[in-house]
Chain A
Amino acid sequence: MSKHSLLTLVAGLSILILLPFTQSNYGVFVLCSWLVYSISAMGLNLTLGYAGQVSLAQASFMGIGAYMTALMTMAGVPWPAAMIAAMVSCFVIGFLLGYPALRVQHHFLAFITLAFNALVVLVLRNEEWLTGGTYGIVGVPRPEVFGLPTQTPLAFYFFVLALFVLMAAGLYAIIRSPWGRAFKALRENPIRANSLGVDIRQTTLLAFAIGSSYGGLAGSLLAQLTQFIDPHSFGLTISLKVLLMVIVGGAGFFFGPILGALLIVLAPEFLRFTEGYYLMIYATLVIVLMVFCPTGLLGLVERARTAMKLRQNPNATTWEAGR
């Protein structure tokens, strides 16, 4: 990692540590929501942005993670075991959901994952004996970390921040590893990748499984954050919202989903003063962004930076300009 990147990372982490102290309880709740959705969007970014597999089911994995954590912790299972079980279950279910991706792609795959999301919501709504049906589950406990309770918003924020950093570091390591290169190869040219020894079947399934486990953890944290869950919180609208986070921030960019989640979570807060016009303004902004910058905000930043460097040094290669 370069000195510049290290300094940026330290500055970013310092802001994340200090920021909640300047916020009200509601502000800290919004920051927590942002980190939770960022974890979910990071997972989808691996599946979609890096591996090129369309998924409209991320919210269903958040739902599975949330309900598993809620039910297990309320039954007395320690929270680490519940959260690990949620992630592992989502990994396995995501792995299985990846199988259709071996046969179909693009919008067909989108419809399959969409149907899966609808199926999960139906189960959560109809199996009242387990999930509480439309009334959901109230009173999901927050964890105690090394004997310290996380009941206060600030304490829970730091718990979420620690897991966010851990998951981001994990994703960074995956993307930089040969696995990350294989995921990108799958996105760009699966036929060629296959001929070079990349096991396309395994890589596709892993992309779904890892991305889904991130969704599972995000759901687990969401249940503890809101301490109330219902099927509506994990419907298709939420899957589309997570997808929007990835696309708006920049699919295939490491920080893309984090930036996208920040915008999507914070935009309603900033546009609150517009009252009834909020959704219209929000929709217009998304349309404008997608028309002028389909690669998302970080794609726009990269394009601007490369253009500026090329203007300064017309003989530079695109790599030199892009550094």
Chain B
Amino acid sequence: MRFLFKTDYNQDIRIAKHSGYYWSYGVLLLLVLAAPLLLDSYYIGQMTQLYIVAIAGLGLMLLAGYTGLVSLGHAAFFGIGAYTEAVLTGAGLQLPFMEEPLVFSFVVAMPLAAIFAGIAGVVIGIPVLRLTGIYLAIATFAFAIVIEEVMSRWESVTNGYTGLLVDSIYIGDIDFSSGEPFYFLCLGLLILVILFSINLLRSPTGRAMMAIRDSEISAQSMGVNLARVKTTAFGISAGITGLAGALFAHKLGFLSPESFTVLQSLEFLVLVVVGGIGSIHGAIFGAMFVLALPQALAIAKDYVPPEIGEMPGIEPFIFGLILVLVIIFEPYGIYGRWLKVKHYFQMFPIYKKATFKRQKAYMKSERLK
């Protein structure tokens, strides 16, 4: 057990709490950097997918886990990012005063996709964020359905259900849209997004976000501008998810509105909840869970009797079951369990179960009187 004696404020807000952080995260970084040498291309593809989903999860985590706003429509921002990227790098932007459409390099297009999704987030956010709790969830849900319909009907841009091919991206001669270069691109962006999130969360804006999550009224009393902080959080969250969408476009190479349905939004939410709400680790763990579950089930199928294994709906059923069980028994998800295990070994042999005991909860009314 390590005891930290904090002697000044800078120490309190440092990213690495103590030297152990450099070791553990350094080793992790080395491992993911060396992964292309160690694993074959299938697993590299899977890990790339993991990074993309983790970026999207981080986007939603900032909103749901740190600002306490539930969005049921993040697939819409994911989709906006993906389509923006595909259009900007592919057909290009046709402006009225130009002869040739303007085609962007992905280095420019990706930030543009993120910014565009972020703007969409702010535009939908400004009217909607005056609402609280459940209304917000319903409004984002409605927004996602409208966007999904737009994606399938605006055929001159998105090609509807026929689908839109995404061009490969190059710097010089290196193809950045597949294999190892793409792996490092996603990894780099994930690390950037993680660092951005950590820094955001220790800034005044991030603290205001957490204050809003814990109690809107006390945040307001402390001088937090609710509407502005909420809109900022919404915009940032949508932007990060849009960035993930842009990467996703290149990962798939082919876009159709079916990839951005309400079910995808729900999957992001499940990711956040199962991974561990209110923690950046949680987004990564959640992404692992969402990607690993179908594979684990496919493997498990060989070991159970075929009558059970071959049932058509077994996969979403287990998905739902795990979601419910996690919320009832481990509200802080995989990361919460990890903390408990870590604590157990740190405190060995005097671990007390009561350390993490939840307080007795009463029904708190959110109703306005």
A-B interaction: no
